Amino acid sequence: MEERARERFPVLPVAMLALGLLALRLAYLAWACPYTLAEDEAHYWDWSRNPDWSYYSKGPGVAWLIAAMTRALGESELGVRAGAALFGSIATIGVAGTAHASFGLRRATVASAILFNLIPFYQVSSLLMTIDMPYVACWALASWCAVEAILRRRGAAWAALGACVAAGFLFKYTMVLIVPGIIFAALIARKSRPRDVRKGAGGWIALGVLIALAGLVPVGVWNAERDWPTVRHLLGHLGVSGGDVPTGREAWTPMWFIEFIGMQVGLVGPAIFLMLRGVLRTVRGREEDVAARMLVWMGLPLIGFYCAVSLVNDAEGNWAIAGYVTLVALAGRAVTGGMPGPFPAWKLAWIVGVLVAACFARLDIVARVPGVGRLVPLGRLSGADVRAAAVWREMERLGEEAELEPFVIAQHYGRASQLAFYLPGRPVVYCSSSLMNGRRTQFDMWAHTDLRSREVSLELTGRPAVLVGGVPGQWDVAFERVDPRGALDGEVKRDRVSFAGYGYRGFTGPRGQ
């Protein structure tokens, strides 16, 4: 693409789209969202009320973001989730910027921004506060900066790129996988258009590297002081020795890979076919189409890495989702005439995108449709307040019966955090996962929630507790008496029952000895 053919960035359409979506999403979250916090959302909120440089399984980005949003908007579901909506709009701008820096076409830029918001997973993650949308937004901004630095020869873009990589790493560690893609992209540009690649940018590149490395410092220091728990968590995800979960898993099956590929199609939707078409034409296409080849290479390391993981372990579908960001820009060019024949997939992307948006907005209504209810994962997004109300009633009963202040222990970290959010007064809720054949969690890292701690044991000794999850034999060691209470109101998992524990004596012996 010659410089003289470049069109101006469509500021108004992109800004209207990003700000309009932000306003709609915030309004929906404030007044129309029927969902209680999911387990991960609640757990990240629990992190946010305990500020730190890092956490057991993730960097501090998500906790810092929720802390900022809840301080501005209040300790509410809207406050927790507002950051997802904000970063959804930031990601929209990042994708548009990547498309324009690559091709300089107004229509392709706007189409890319629209297509990004038609992708099912990006829609959902702009409403639920997990690490995914902030991470995707950082990836999109980093991609934009990389194209500006490499193709547009803007030295300051290297420093901005370093800042985006640093910020993304604080949300998800696989942000580092954009680096080999950028290196490949730079090599492609230098080989294909050596005269266009600016020489003497070494100082800017060095600054960008230093800024990027700064993002590793909080996580590195926190882990070094605690014997690297995050490393063991990541090894556990890969199912290898030294991880925080048992390695004796089910035998390998090719279905892991097949299911992973199927999940990619489901999460990305029809846009994945536009992306695939763009990739194939780029690979077979003109040697001078440097920008398109760069976009392919910037997403390839992440997608390829998790495809490889799925060959040896059961991989989650969303792990590779940031890798499609640059391919959205490639698909955006496809639907605006840069490549022939994309219109059926483009129209289908609109149909699926609108349907997903409408259905996800009110899954509670969709679940009432005969024959559909079983297919709707509504239990993950509802009932947390009802379960907390049931736990509160049991706490009141236990308090009157034992004449001691009761507390709550949940066997699962996500359920513990949900209860902490929805119980009156938002008390400390403890988690027994690592003490009951489960993996370690952030609750084991905090001094005030570590059930192995002598101080915590002394504080809780003798008191009654509501126990959520597990089986009776697992609780018996820690209490003088344990009575079953059945499933809580609003509980969707039939095997997750609750108990009343009397006379806490600690999981490691009386008084935490």
pLDDT recorded at residue 288: 56
Q: 104: which 2 tokens?
A: 């300089």
Residue 251: pLDDT band (50, 70, 90) is low
Residue 3: pLDDT band (50, 70, 90) is very low
pLDDT recorded at residue 1: 40
The answer to whether residue 197 scores a pLDDT higher than 80 is: no
What value does the mean pLDDT take over residues 297-307?
93
The answer to whether residue 235 scores a pLDDT higher than 80 is: no
What does the DSSP assignment read for 193-254? -TTTSPSS-HHHHHHHHHHHHHTHHHHHHHHHTTT-HHHHHHHHHHT-TTSSS-S--PPP-T
The answer to whether residue 513 scores a pLDDT higher than 70 is: no
Residue bearing the bigger pLDDT, 198 or 112: 112
Are 46 and 141 in contact by the 8 Å Cβ rule? The answer is no
Residue 375: pLDDT band (50, 70, 90) is confident
The answer to whether residue 509 scores a pLDDT higher than 90 is: no
Provide the residue type at 3 as one letter. E
240 φψ region: left (φ > 0), alpha (ψ -120 to 50), beta (else): beta
The C-alpha atoms of residue 4 and residue 449 are separated, in whole angstroms, by 62
457 three-class SS = helix
- Looking at the DSSP bridge assignments, the partners of residue 465 are 407, 501
The answer to whether residue 199 scores a pLDDT higher than 60 is: no
pLDDT recorded at residue 349: 94
pLDDT recorded at residue 202: 82
The answer to whether residue 129 scores a pLDDT higher than 50 is: yes
Query: Per residue in 336-358, pLDDT tens?
Result: 865 555 568 889 999 999 999 99
pLDDT recorded at residue 438: 86
The C-alpha atoms of residue 125 and residue 38 are separated, in whole angstroms, by 12
Query: Per residue in 93-114, pLDDT tens?
Result: 999 999 999 999 999 999 999 9
- Alpha helices by DSSP H, listed for 362-453, are 363-366, 384-402, 413-422
The answer to whether residue 249 scores a pLDDT higher than 60 is: no
Query: Could you tell me the strand order of the sheet in which 465-468 lies?
Result: 430-431, 407-410, 465-468, 498-504, 479-486
The answer to whether residue 87 scores a pLDDT higher than 60 is: yes
Are 407 and 463 in contact by the 8 Å Cβ rule? The answer is yes
What value does the mean pLDDT take over residues 324-344?
80
The percentage of the chain sitting over the pLDDT mark of 90, rounded to a whole number, equals 72
What value does the mean pLDDT take over residues 467-478?
91
pLDDT recorded at residue 399: 95
pLDDT recorded at residue 341: 52
What value does the mean pLDDT take over residues 132-149?
97
What value does the mean pLDDT take over residues 128-148?
97
What value does the mean pLDDT take over residues 178-203?
76
Average pLDDT, the chain: 90
Q: 115: which 2 tokens?
A: 């297509």
